[in-house]
Amino acid sequence: MHTPEHTLTTTTRSGRFVVVFDSADPQVREDSAPGLLSTEGFSTETYFSRLGVAVVDADSDHLNALRSRCQAERRPVHVLPERIYRVLDAAPAARPAELPDSFTDTEELTWGLQAVRSLESGYTGAGVRVAVLDTGVDLEHPELAGRGIVAESFIDGETAQDGHGHGTHCLGTVGGPRSREDGPGYGVAPEAELFAGKVLGDDGSGSDTSILSGIDWALQQECAVISMSLGADVPEVHPPYVAAGRRALEQGSLIIAAAGNNARRSSGENGFVGAPANSPYVMAVGALDPQLGIADFSARTLPGRGGQVDVAGPGVDVLSAWTGDQRHRIISGTSMATPHVSGVAALLAEATGFRARELWAEIVQEAARLELPSVDVGSGLSLAPPAEEQQ
Amino acid sequence: MTSPGERPVGWIVTVDEERTARLDEVVAELQAAGLRVNRVLTSLGMVHGRATEEQLEALRSVDGVVSVDREQEHRISPPDAEVQ
């Protein structure tokens, strides 16, 4: 029985080795690998074909022969001494993740980009299409104008040009510059292919029609990620977004939406996840402050299927692009947390090739767990993929 | 004077995946049932249009219709708000 005051420790055992055939191909694991072991004179008595793992008795010459054979056949293999596991008394307390106590914008990077480890990942989102469905984008913004943004308006009588600022801010966080001359870089995935769908008018309002039209367009454009920093403060699940979320996943696309800003935690109101983020097939994002605490306004999980906050991102005092001469602005909201996660999703999609449900799982798996209620932050702070050499 | 039930409002019609390949047929049946079609979303298999509350049951009884839901409005904070 494992108890908190005990920890696992291991020692190696001489003469016994674990042989790992690193292949995703079941044919290799079930046939080629055990064949190779037999040919080289190893027992296959302890061979696990589903894992591609054998435990063998051997000396180093014998193992070297196996390694050479595998190398010659281009069969990736790892050989490790078998370990004996036992529990020991006294355990140093393990932190859930190596996270600093607080972040602050530097000359190089916003706090949000530092927190999600965008730069360290080495990935840029290249080749991954991301749609930002919002108030459009300022296509004349000097830091976005050269990005080859595909823009489309679903608001009658308005072009895709952003007359509000919100859409430009969100799109900037997803795919703006990661470095620039006059201040910190703010774009999580600076080489993602950006699609700006204007589904909210310059007055900040839109209907299901424009939003669903934007989703439909993003699917036709084969966007792997659809970022939606919008919602209605209604606790009911809205059926069209259940179908839209599921059909998007079936077509290789993941919808990521803001949990909502209807909490006033300092007044004891925890709020609830609104539509469309409360739909079962839409990922809901909560907002963290620079100390990685939950933001005062960030909505809590709505009881019921799909109503949970799935993951959290930087959403307080977020610097990004803004329309007009102002160029940049620092604002807060789950609207700002959402594009951080969407940018991370693009980096993870680039790193792994995963789409849809697999991408959802990867986002959740890579998130750094926080010592906060899961009803507020889900699986925690969304993180970019580790750099290639650390994988 | 018209009562609230007689005024056309916006609806989102979700069509069964089995029938989304032949969406145009469902659209024609919806029109026959009284829907004034605004947009047909082919990738999602959804139709937006306007109809009165009184026509709702006729729309719901069209073969292949999964649900008919009243259109919602969404709004974000004004540009000068600190929390958006």
Which residues, in sequence order, are bridge partners of residue A294? A288
Report the gap between the CA of B79 and the closest CA in chain A (Å). Answer: 6
* 3-state secondary structure at position A374: helix
The complex scores an ipTM of 0.91
Mutate to test the interface with A, among B14, B17, B83 (most CBs of A within 10 A): B83
Contacts of A232 in chain B (CB under 8 A): 72-75
Same domain, A335 and A203: yes
Residue A312 lies in a domain: yes
pLDDT in tens, B16-72: 988 878 899 999 999 999 999 999 999 999 999 999 999 999 999 999 999 999 999
Same domain, A181 and A286: yes
Residue A97 lies in a domain: no
Report the gap between the CA of A149 and the closest CA in chain B (Å). Answer: 22
Tokens standing for A140? 């004349």
Residue A10 lies in a domain: yes
Whole-angstrom distance, CA of residue A225 vs CA of residue B63: 32
Domain boundary among A41, A59, A89: A89
Tokens standing for A229? 């920093």
The bridge status of strand A283-288 relative to strand A311-314 is parallel
Whole-angstrom distance, CA of residue A362 vs CA of residue A127: 18
Q: Do A331 and B82 touch (CB under 8 A)?
A: yes
Report the gap between the CA of A379 and the closest CA in chain B (Å). Answer: 23
**In the structure, what pLDDT confidence band is assigned to residue B76 with cuts at 50, 70 and 90?**
very high
Query: Is A235 at the interface with chain B, CB within 8 A?
Result: no
- Give the residue numbers spanning the domain of A66: 6-89
Tokens standing for A100? 């600093």
- Geometric angle at alpha carbon A163, from A157 and A164, rounded to 5°: 125
Q: Do A331 and B83 touch (CB under 8 A)?
A: yes
DSSP labels, A23-70: -S-HHIIIIIHHHHHHHTT---TTEETTTTEEEEE--HHHHHHHHHHH
Q: In CATH, which superfamily holds the domain spanning B4-70?
A: Peptidase S8 propeptide/proteinase inhibitor I9 (3.30.70.80)
- What's the one-letter identity of residue A142? P
Q: Which of A194, A188, A198 minimizes the C-alpha distance to A130?
A: A194
Residue B4, pLDDT score: 62
Same domain, A187 and A237: yes
Whole-angstrom distance, CA of residue B15 vs CA of residue B65: 5
Question: Which of B10, B46, B69 comes nearest A238 by C-beta?
Answer: B69
Same domain, A139 and A32: no
Contacting residues for A138 by C-beta, under 8 A, at least 6 apart: A144, A161, A162, A165, A168, A321, A322, A323, A324
DSSP H or E run through A150: strand A150-153
Residue A376 lies in a domain: yes
Same domain, A68 and A120: no
Whole-angstrom distance, CA of residue A175 vs CA of residue B40: 30
Report the gap between the CA of A217 and the closest CA in chain B (Å). Answer: 8
Whole-angstrom distance, CA of residue A186 vs CA of residue A165: 16
| CATH number assigned to the domain comprising residue A17 | 3.30.70.240
Residue B2, pLDDT score: 57
Identify the residue whose tokens are 């080859």.
Answer: A148
Same domain, A233 and A266: yes
Mutate to test the interface with B, among A164, A209, A338 (most CBs of B within 10 A): A209
Q: How many domains does chain A have?
A: 2
Same domain, A19 and A151: no
Phi, psi (degrees; rounded to nearest 5) at A246: -70, -45
Residue A87, pLDDT score: 74
* 3-state secondary structure at position A204: coil
* 3-state secondary structure at position A10: strand
Residue A303 exposed, middle or buried by CB count within 10 Å (0-12, 13-18, 19+): exposed
Whole-angstrom distance, CA of residue A383 vs CA of residue A361: 13
- Quote the crossing angle between the two packed helices A334-352 and A166-175, to the nearest 10°: 30
* 3-state secondary structure at position B39: strand
Same domain, A57 and A206: no
Radius of gyration of chain A (CA): 24
Among left, alpha and beta (phi > 0; psi -120 to 50; other), residue B5 is alpha
pLDDT truncated to tens, each residue of chain A (391 aa)?
455 555 556 677 778 999 999 888 888 889 999 999 999 999 899 999 889 999 999 888 999 999 999 888 888 889 888 888 877 665 544 444 578 999 999 999 999 999 999 999 999 999 999 999 999 999 999 999 999 999 999 999 999 999 999 999 999 999 999 999 999 999 999 999 999 999 999 999 999 999 999 999 999 999 999 999 999 999 999 999 999 999 999 999 999 999 999 999 999 999 999 999 999 999 999 999 999 999 999 999 999 999 999 999 999 999 999 999 999 999 999 999 999 999 999 999 999 999 999 999 999 999 999 999 999 999 999 999 998 766 6
Same domain, A51 and A172: no
Radius of gyration of chain B (CA): 15
Residue A95, pLDDT score: 44
- In Å, how far are A116, A131, A231, A306, A329 from A262, measured between CA atoms? 24, 25, 11, 18, 22
Residue A99 lies in a domain: no
Domain boundary among A58, A89, A120: A89
Whole-angstrom distance, CA of residue A363 vs CA of residue A341: 8
Q: Which of A320, A254, A242, A250 minimizes the C-alpha distance to A278?
A: A242
Same domain, A317 and A368: yes
Contacts of B46 in chain A (CB under 8 A): 212, 216, 240, 243-244
Residues of A involved in catalysis: 134, 166, 335
Same domain, A132 and A223: yes
Mutate to test the interface with A, among B38, B43, B67 (most CBs of A within 10 A): B43
Residue A106 lies in a domain: no
Question: Is the link from the previous residue into A373 a cis peptide, with omega within 30 of 0?
Answer: no
Query: Is A297 at the interface with chain B, CB within 8 A?
Result: yes
Same domain, A78 and A115: no
Contacts of B35 in chain A (CB under 8 A): none
- Taking the domains of chain B in order of start, what are their residue ranges? 4-70
Q: Which of A66, A90, A88, A89 minimizes the C-alpha distance to A78?
A: A66
Query: Is A249 at the interface with chain B, CB within 8 A?
Result: no
User: Which DSSP symbol is given to B83?
Assistant: B
Whole-angstrom distance, CA of residue A277 vs CA of residue A289: 20
